Amino acid sequence: MPLPADSMRGMAPLIALVHAPVLGPRSWLPVAEELTRAGNDVVVPALAGFTDDGAPYSPRLVRLAADPIRAARRDHVVLVTHSGAGAFVPHIAAAVGGEVVAVFADAALPRRSSGATVVDAEFLPHLRGLATAGLVPPWPRWWPEEDLSPLFPDEAARAAVCSEALSLPLEFFAEELPALPNGWPPCRAAYLAFSEPYRREAAAAARAGWPVRDLPGGHLHMLVSPGEVATAISGLAEEARAAASSLSALS
């Protein structure tokens, strides 16, 4: 989405909505429209192509996420990640620089331990079981129909979002995340929970002293209730900034 020129630098924060690596920008489009209508400047980076040139995949994914944010030239950024994109938040925030407030929306939390992989080790056997010739099928094919269908508000939304989900190399999910050369960036953080599988992450965020909000629904609740999610993102970003809740407080 086009952004104002340099005259806007340093004013209202830019809101960057980063989609899950297994999905695409359309998963955030309804929320982006709501935030834009409310007067915010919004960018939705597209991560498509991050696996095209082989491993390592993570640096390319981080670059694709960070480049359009840097191009907007804002001093303040609200970085919103969904699902697996959460694991890359410290790397994206470090690449963006400036003041970053991260809002994890039903998202994986980054791990401080060395050798951390893109997905938790306990989930890798499930993906290996799905893979054929080293490729994991598109995300919608990971789940039974009865689990997938309720995640979408209608068939049009389902078709649009699923059209962007591609097969990905199994080795991407098992790839070790690179160490940050100067440790974790100075980034505020908050957590927005939608679904039961991410309650553990929400609890860890609460223990770290982050603002936490629960909007009960499915993992793609931003498609079902975009106005509610947009409002929650704006509120949590303000709370995180006021509370000075640190990303580095994660245990």
| pLDDT tens figures, 191-246 | 999 999 999 999 999 999 999 999 999 999 999 999 999 999 999 999 999 999 99
Tell me if 94 sits within 8 A of 118, measured CB to CB.
Answer: no
- Count of C-beta atoms within a 10 Å radius of residue 27: 24
**% pLDDT > 70, the chain:** 96
pLDDT in tens, 133-186: 999 999 999 999 999 999 999 999 999 999 999 999 999 999 999 888 788 999
Give, for 2, the enclosing helix (H) or strand (E). none
Neighbour order of strands in the sheet with 99-107:
41-43, 14-18, 76-83, 99-107, 187-193, 212-214
- Count of C-beta atoms within a 10 Å radius of residue 180: 13
Q: How many residues does the chain have?
A: 251
In the chain, what are the domains? 6-249 (3.40.50.1820)
